[in-house]
Structure 1
Amino acid sequence: MSRPTTPEEIAVLIHRIEDEERRLRLPHFDNDDAWRLGTLLVELARAENAPVAIDIRRNGQQLFHCALPGSSADNDAWLLRKTRTVDRYGCSSYLVGLRFAAKGETFEEKSRLDPDTYAAHGGAFPVTVEGVGVVGTVAVSGLPQADDHRLVVTALERHLAAS
């Protein structure tokens, strides 16, 4: 997935991610669901030899974490920053960054949030329960932001299909 550069490409990507967020709503989300989703993400990442760290949270509690070979403590810091962005804005960290870019702005300059605490880069996605709303996050760090995002979306799609 190439990086969008034109306003049209950014708009198309924003629309696609908004659609993903509408589609990828879970019927429920408990500790066992987090384990199944997390292990699915590990399998997908291993199949790609992806050097990622994975984090799944519900209401601020970490339910799943895995650091695959090639990842580092830096990835854990990125996970926290991207997760905080989802918690604050209620949508994926990639979408937040793209919405700023669509206005010709950067998240770091215009959000007035500490960039050491928040990151609007792809890879963190809201865990949304149908009829309830956002209850947590699933996040990946270690690949380019579009690939982090894609890995999470693929896992959520497969998790939903298996539910």
Structure 2
Amino acid sequence: MTTQELEAELSALSLSAWDEDVALELGHILVSLARERDLPVVIDIRDANRCFFHAALPGSAAQNDNWARRKSNLALYTGKASLVVKQVFAAKGRTLADEGLSEADHAMSGGAVPVKLGAAMVAVATVSGLPDVEDHRLVVEALGQLARQGG
């Protein structure tokens, strides 16, 4: 997908409410989707101050936790999905270092998607363990399901 297509897809995923219960529901949707498909992923939902939900499913590894943290940090810093940032940076020939960001704390990899309440980003939902486009798609699928349920 192009960057514009990704951004258009993400703009349609705004939720109508956000609190700990909605975060838990989003986490449960992600776990359910991952378990149905036997996906070895880590799921992390957080804002800049706290973790709302975290799960490490069978087959995932400690490195997936670190990737999830780093991808979440990039999305929280930029306010954009990490896959969008990756594509924009690649198109401009930019690196994390060019932006003053460390690779130890940020990852240029898809899978971290802003959770939006209207236009405001209230959290980031992240999946790590699959190729980054698949990580991204799983989060988008779960957010879409939650939005359709009235979340």
Q: TM-score range by the shorter chain?
A: over 0.9
Query: Is the counterpart of residue 149 in structure 1 residue 101 in structure 2?
Result: no
| Contact 1:55/1:79 (<8 A) preserved | yes
Verify: 1:33 aligned to 2:22, yes or no.
Answer: yes
The one-letter amino acid paired with 1:39 is: H
- Measured against aligned partners, the alpha-carbon deviations of 1:115-148 in whole angstroms (never above 9, x if no partner) come to 01101210000111115x0111100000000000
Q: Given residue 60 of structure 1, which amino acid in structure 2 is its aligned partner?
A: N
Q: Among all aligned residue pairs of Structure 1 and Structure 2, give the percentage whose two residues are the same amino acid.
A: 41
Matched, 1:118 2:68: no
**Alignment partners' CA distance in 2, 1:149 and 1:94:** 7
Matches within 5 A, 1:11-160: 12-103=1-92, 105-130=93-118, 133-160=120-147
For the residues of structure 2 that align with 1:155 and 1:98, how far apart are their CA atoms? 22
The aligned amino acid for 1:75 is: N
Q: Which runs of 5+ in 2 are unaligned?
A: none
Size of the alignment, in residue pairs?
150
Q: Tell me, what secondary structure is at the counterpart of 2:103?
A: coil
Q: C-alpha displacement at 1:48, in angstroms?
A: 1.4
RMSD between superposed Cα atoms in Å: 1.3
In 1, are the aligned partners of 2:82 and 2:112 still within 8 Å (CA)?
yes
Shift of 1:59: 4.4
Contact 2:3–2:88 under 8 Å retained in 1? yes
4+ runs of 1 displaced by more than 6 Å? Answer: none
CA, structure 1 residues 66+117, in 2 after alignment: closer, same or farther (shift >3 Å)? same
Given that 1:97 and 1:107 are in contact with CA atoms closer than 8 Å, whether structure 2 keeps it comes out as no
**Contact 1:59–1:135 (CA<8 Å) still a contact in 2?**
no
Gaps of at least 5 residues in structure 1 are 1-11
